[in-house]
Amino acid sequence: MKPDAPHSTDTLTTWLDYWGHVHVTGIDLGLERVIPVAEKLGVMQPKAKVFTVAGTNGKGSTTTALAAILNAQGYNVGLYQSPHIYRFNERVKLAGLEVDDQSLVDAFVMVDQARRECGLSLSFFEATTLAAFVIFKLKQCDVWVLEVGLGGRLDVVNVIDPDIAVITNIGLDHVDWLGDTIEKIAYEKAGIIRPHIPVIFAGQQQLPKAIQHKVNETQSQLYALNRDYFYQLNDDGQTWSFASSGTTLKLPTGQLALDNISTAVAAVLASGVDISQEAIVSGIQQARLQGRFEIRHIQDKTVIFDAGHNPHGVEFLLNQLRKFLKYNKQYTDVVAVFSMLADKDISSVTDLLKTTVKDWFIATLDVPRAAPMQQLKQALQGQQVHEFGNIQQAFETVLNKCNNNQLILVCGSFHTLEAVWEYLEECQ
């Protein structure tokens, strides 16, 4: 039995719970149900410049850097990302600020009315994404920066035709949905490409044939990393250089991964929007994102939060970590507060991390798909492992036990990070 629709006076929590029960499944790839509702809402052809970002890892950091640079130039930017980590409002930002509850509720009312008039149900992700588009339309954003949720071709974000398509990289993740080879996954990501638009490919690997085929088919303009644009960290560790045809820039490193910042810079420059070097510098310095190599200082200890949850994401994390340790030699070793979901490639992730992590503080997550303790322990055989009843206890112990020369890494899943943030909120 379908739940009754909430009202405009109901809370955001009530609406989110409602969207979680309207459709038979949380993920339902395909645009057949979404397009009629999007047309009724009038969001299909925004009067805005649209940047759409797909990829296996790095989408969140890339979209954050893109929006920060464009905001610094003075554009009215709507930023859509997923998933959120602590509050749903993190998914929708206007001029760099999370949207308020009532704006989301008002948009949900409109989405629900439109889908009822179409006689269609929407998944949680579809409904909430359309609500973000409604908000951007109502607020007359002149730039939309959109992060694809899953894949690309059949993701609800793809109902909007982008002016610039960005593919950060291709790795094996969500294989049940997207396919079990790099080429199959690349085909899905390439679905965001449209005719005659700039396409940024930022993967370190060889360009997949599926992307090249789509570029040829659409006669779009491809800008590939290490072929059409380049970046390099400078010897001082504080600046880096960006180079493309006719452009050379020296820029600050910022807080996000350089791989993703450089992708954002390449996308902005290829898009043709009016942008100054001052805005690029300012945007890089202001860009922050929870859970992506996020460095915090807690009780005089240095803690890095990273949500990498597949081998590709963890390789990315380790590259950043090695660079950080190179320029911060006071840290003698790394300890990890760690847990993962059972359906992820835990063995590959832990094999990568074992090269750097000395001590492991582990617990089972309090979510349905959590990896049981036995599965975590099996992947960490031969390592120095400490077991706890929950992640909060693990983190509290690490914080009290570690000295200032030990770097604390919280990783393995968004849920691992969320558990620690909840603990920190309670302690305030």
Of 145-154, 221-230, 255-264, 366-375, minimum mean pLDDT range = 145-154
Nearest to 283 by CA among 59, 87, 75: 75
Domains and CATH numbers, the chain: 12-286 (3.40.1190.10), 294-427 (3.90.190.20)
Question: Which pLDDT band holds residue 219 (cuts at 50, 70, 90)?
Answer: very high
Instruction: Tell me if residue 113 falls in helix, strand or coil.
Output: helix
Global pTM reads 0.82
Instruction: Determine the pLDDT at residue 29.
Output: 62
Question: Which pLDDT band holds residue 1 (cuts at 50, 70, 90)?
Answer: very low
Query: Most confidently modeled of 184-188, 293-297, 410-414?
Result: 410-414
- Separation CA 390–CA 383 (nearest Å): 19
Among residues of the chain, what percentage have pLDDT more than 90? 71
pLDDT of 28 higher than 80: no
Q: Which amino acid is it at 215?
A: V
- Say if residues 283 and 70 touch (Cβ distance below 8 Å): yes
Question: Which pLDDT band holds residue 321 (cuts at 50, 70, 90)?
Answer: very high
DSSP 367: S
Instruction: Determine the pLDDT at residue 90.
Output: 93
Displacement of CA 89 from its chain's centroid (Å): 15
Nearest to 423 by CA among 388, 390, 387, 386: 390
User: Greatest CA span in the chain, whole angstroms?
Assistant: 63
Antiparallel, parallel or unpaired: β 406-411 and 143-147:
unpaired
Tokens of 391: 């992640």
pLDDT of 26 higher than 60: no
- Give the tens place of pLDDT for each residue, 149-204: 877 888 899 999 999 999 998 875 544 445 458 888 888 899 999 999 999 999 88
The chain-wide mean pLDDT, for the chain, equals 91
Checking 3-11 for CB contacts under 8 A at 24+ apart, the result is: 5/112, 5/116, 6/108, 7/109, 8/105, 8/106, 8/109, 10/105, 11/101, 11/105
